[in-house]
Structure 1
Amino acid sequence: MPQYEVRNWLLHFLFLLSAGLGHEIFYITCLPCIHWNLDPFLCRRLVNMWTLVMYIGQVLKDVLKLPRPLSPPVVKLETRVEAEYGLPSTHAMAAIAISFTVLLSAPSRIQFRFEVGLLIAVMLSSLVCLSRLYTGMHSVLDVSCGALISAVLLLLTYPYWETFDHFQLTSRFSPVAAPLLLLFLGYTYPELDHYSTTRGDTVTILGACAGYSVGSWVNVQLGQTFEPQGTLPVPLPTLTPNALALGAGRFLVGVVALVGTRQIMKTGSLKMLYWWYRLPEKDDSAKRRKEIEVPYKFTTYTAVGLVHSILVNRVFMLLGLL
């Protein structure tokens, strides 16, 4: 990697932190907090749009096969996704989708000043987009195309959000159709002539969406959705010391549950698949094979989505954290 010198540590860490908003650790920790601490309705909308834009973005990358910026002259500060293609930037797509899905969905649920929400959405999505330029992982064209594609998808799908919500939560076909469709998309993901993390990351997202979709349907059937009670829109929660302590408790318990589920399911599914295909368990490269990678990641993150949506809130009730 070319040598570089950091001359502004504040901006350096700001952009590295912003780039982290598009990584798995953010999705598995911060996004569920919207469900646990704010409104499962918003989280469900968010997961649906996040899955749609990320799948389309990842597929476009591997169909168009346009390279990332050359290094040198740029300095690439991330190595895990270096083998992926560049256009469009899925970080930019996810940032736009997450920020503006919440902004468009929240007014009917929560009382807040729309202008302030718009400012926050623009600021967060801009920081993520700029971070991809700073880290050397994308060009201006990659980021611009990602932001534009995400904006178009939001515009095209917005009129149908309510209809999809109704089907997802009430149709008897929903808990079967969602996992089957998402698993099909994982298995039919475009093949490359070299290994890239795009397929695995995409299947991770598809699995999480499948689990959360089924879990949301189950909660409706059980008559316990954990959504805000009273006349909507409700006021924003007051940040009292007691509320902050409860939020911190929910975060810690929830993250332990999700990370534990991820580890147990990953280990168990890999052992079963290695046994089924008669592979040595020490062969780490086998995890990159389609017949191993797709089912183990889909199963693992479907379980994470189910635990997140069904089990964790009920644990909160038992522990007095609601």
Structure 2
Amino acid sequence: MTVAPESGKPDAGLRSLDHYKDRLPVWRYRMRQALIPLTRWETPYLGAIQSKVRTPTLDSYFAFTANLGTHTFFMIFLPILFWFGWTTIGRAMVHMLASGVFLSGFLKDLMCLPRPLSPPLQRITMSGSAALEYGFPSTHSTNAVSVASYILFLVSSSEDQIDPRMKILVQVSVYLYAGSIILGRLYCGMHGFFDVVTGTMLGFLIAAVQWVWGETFDNYIHASTWIVPFLITAGLIILVRVHPEPADDCPCFDDSVAFAGVFIGAEWAVWHFGQTALAWNEPVPSTTPYQFQAMGVTRSILRLLFGTLVIFAWREVMKPTLLKGLPPLFRVIERLGLSLPRRYFLPATEYKRVPSHLRVDSIFPSVRDLPGMLSNIRHPRKRAVSVGPQSAADAYEALARREQRRRESLQKDGALIAGQSSDNSPQQSVPNGPVNRKTGAGPFRNGLSSDSLPSSEAASVNASVSAIDGAPVPSEPFPQFAMEVSTPPVNLENDQQGEQDEKDMFLMLEKPRVRYDVEVVTKLIVYFGIAWWVIEGMPFLFELVGLGMPKQTI
């Protein structure tokens, strides 16, 4: 916090620097303050590495492969495992991905650590929402490593059943997949070393727990009564409720809620479907009947298309129905004093209706998202390159780091960080040496430290450019900043410029949409239903429409 000695109050133009201290409990704020120097220390290194290795081909490769670590990819891929007989792997994936998304989102909102700052980094992405989340830990890395580790465990335990050449091919593919996701997070400027290392460790831990206790857990579910799924539901709802309140309007909570719904729906469906006459007990209970030899290519494709259509229809029907029907109930609950509001979610008593076609989440695509997804598949080189703060967390970090430099400048009696001072005193350039571990300042091209930008430059860093179909990357990574920069002494009593800088910084950010309290329950119900339809509902529909197993083969 920045405090004026005379009054003990924050400088008027620097009120935003108290943002985290005001909104976080003391223990969370202290943890954040202890870890954030690491993020600041590694940022110049990441910027220097990115500027040296970037090429249009690598931009396209890492931007595209990042999609293979997203929640959306796994939500589309998971139904295939259940509908075509890979039930064991399907359950493992549900457990690991739901745990990974929930835990990483929990840690993100708990710590509120920003992504590495841009500039010096340029952020390369095909997703418009990823940069709005906090950086620590990397959910992409958690997802990729948990899936890769589990597959490696599976392959290693099946030495007598897999051809050695096939085993090597699978292992190489898995390492390439996980490596591309992890390195891509660094290359694309979306995460730092600390983020991906922690995400990797979390992913491996989740995979190890699933490998050791996953089968035992599944068998316990099958042998239990309805009490066990009920207790799992109650426990996850409690975890959703105690999910930390973020200091910024971060969408991490939304993803955690959605995957909690998936986990709950999957456990109820597995428990109940296993008790029906339709479910197979081989290779494991609650398996959807399927044999490729009996079904053939055409019927298999039709099964996939029909099942996907039903899932989309469920989401498209239930989401607007719930968003319309829940607000009156929530108003009654709120008037009774039983509501449990969350920050950044508007209470039902403060709005009349939820807008139609509201984009509640970015996990499972809607029908309106399909054209854009198909366009990305047809044009895998398409990506966006952004320079400058993209979220409130970015803006607060940019302001805090700049103020840190200004304070250090004052403490050095007006010594220059780079360039020439306004009173024509001799230049004192930033040496092209190692990063200062205390301040986070580091070497940069043309002797420019990314944190020594004057207020006029900091107010214009949110420039977004499109690099389509392999547009060339500039030879200088940030030519607009390739100049000598001066940092004149700051008069703490005159904070009007600082206040204007803050306003300019936040005006450039995309305004987050209004989020409504009913969205939490809507996500739980919609994603509960998606998991239930995939595991239990669709096998019966397949039989009803003639896409089940031929009777003579059952």
TM-score range, shorter chain: 0.7 to 0.9
Task: Please point out which of 114, 127, 148 is paired with 1:99.
Answer: 148
Tell me, yes or no, if the aligned pair for 1:216 and 1:309 is still in contact at 8 Å.
yes
The corresponding residue for 1:89 is 138
Tell me, yes or no, if the aligned pair for 1:40 and 1:227 is still in contact at 8 Å.
no
TM-fit CA distance, 1:297: 0.6
Task: Please point out which of 59, 72, 76 is paired with 1:25.
Answer: 72
Residue 307 in structure 1 maps to residue 533 in structure 2: yes
Tell me, yes or no, if the aligned pair for 2:323 and 2:354 is still in contact at 8 Å.
no
Distance across 2 between alignment mates of 1:317 and 1:144: 46
Residue 281 in structure 1 maps to residue 331 in structure 2: no
TM-fit CA distance, 1:27: 2.5
Structure 1's 273 and 135: CA in aligned 2 closer, same or farther, altered over 3 A?
farther
Structure 1's 286 and 126: CA in aligned 2 closer, same or farther, altered over 3 A?
closer
Distance across 2 between alignment mates of 1:160 and 1:225: 23
Structure 1's 288 and 111: CA in aligned 2 closer, same or farther, altered over 3 A?
farther
Alignment of 1:47-66 (within 5 A): 47-66=94-113
Structure 1's 244 and 131: CA in aligned 2 closer, same or farther, altered over 3 A?
farther
Q: Which amino acid aligns with 2:142?
A: M
Describe the SS at the equivalent of 2:73: helix
Residues 45-67 of structure 1 show CA distances to partners (whole Å, capped at 9, x for unaligned) of 11112222222211111222221
The corresponding residue for 1:211 is 265
The corresponding residue for 1:202 is 256
Which structure: larger Rg?
Answer: 2
Tell me, yes or no, if the aligned pair for 1:186 and 1:294 is still in contact at 8 Å.
no
Task: Please point out which of 175, 183, 187 is paired with 2:237.
Answer: 183
Task: Please point out which of 166, 176, 194 is paired with 1:123.
Answer: 176
Alignment of 1:263-278 (within 5 A): 263-276=316-329, 277=331, 278=349
Q: Which amino acid aligns with 2:538?
A: V
Residue 34 in structure 1 maps to residue 81 in structure 2: yes
Distance across 1 between alignment mates of 2:514 and 2:224: 36
Describe the SS at the equivalent of 1:221: coil
Distance across 2 between alignment mates of 1:224 and 1:202: 32
TM-fit CA distance, 1:156: 4.4
Distance across 2 between alignment mates of 1:156 and 1:292: 34
Distance across 2 between alignment mates of 1:112 and 1:103: 12
Describe the SS at the equivalent of 2:274: helix
The corresponding residue for 2:91 is 44
TM-fit CA distance, 1:226: 4.6
The corresponding residue for 2:278 is 224
Distance across 1 between alignment mates of 2:207 and 2:72: 25
TM-score of the two chains, using structure 1 as the length reference = 0.84
Describe the SS at the equivalent of 1:224: coil
Number of equivalenced pairs:
307
Tell me, yes or no, if the aligned pair for 1:249 and 1:321 is still in contact at 8 Å.
no
Tell me, yes or no, if the aligned pair for 2:137 and 2:195 is still in contact at 8 Å.
yes
Describe the SS at the equivalent of 1:43: helix
Percent identity between the two aligned chains: 25
RMSD of the TM alignment (CA)? Answer: 2.8
TM-fit CA distance, 1:72: 1.4
Q: Which amino acid aligns with 2:130?
A: V
Residue 259 in structure 1 maps to residue 312 in structure 2: yes
**Range with greater deviation from structure 2 (155-164 or 308-317):** 155-164
Describe the SS at the equivalent of 1:95: helix
Structure 1's 288 and 67: CA in aligned 2 closer, same or farther, altered over 3 A?
same
TM-fit CA distance, 1:222: 0.9
Specify every segment of 5 or more residues in structure 2 that has no aligned partner in the other structure, as ranges: 1-50, 285-290, 332-348, 359-511, 550-554
Distance across 1 between alignment mates of 2:322 and 2:302: 30
TM-score of the two chains, using structure 2 as the length reference = 0.51
TM-fit CA distance, 1:302: 0.3
Q: Which amino acid aligns with 2:239?
A: L
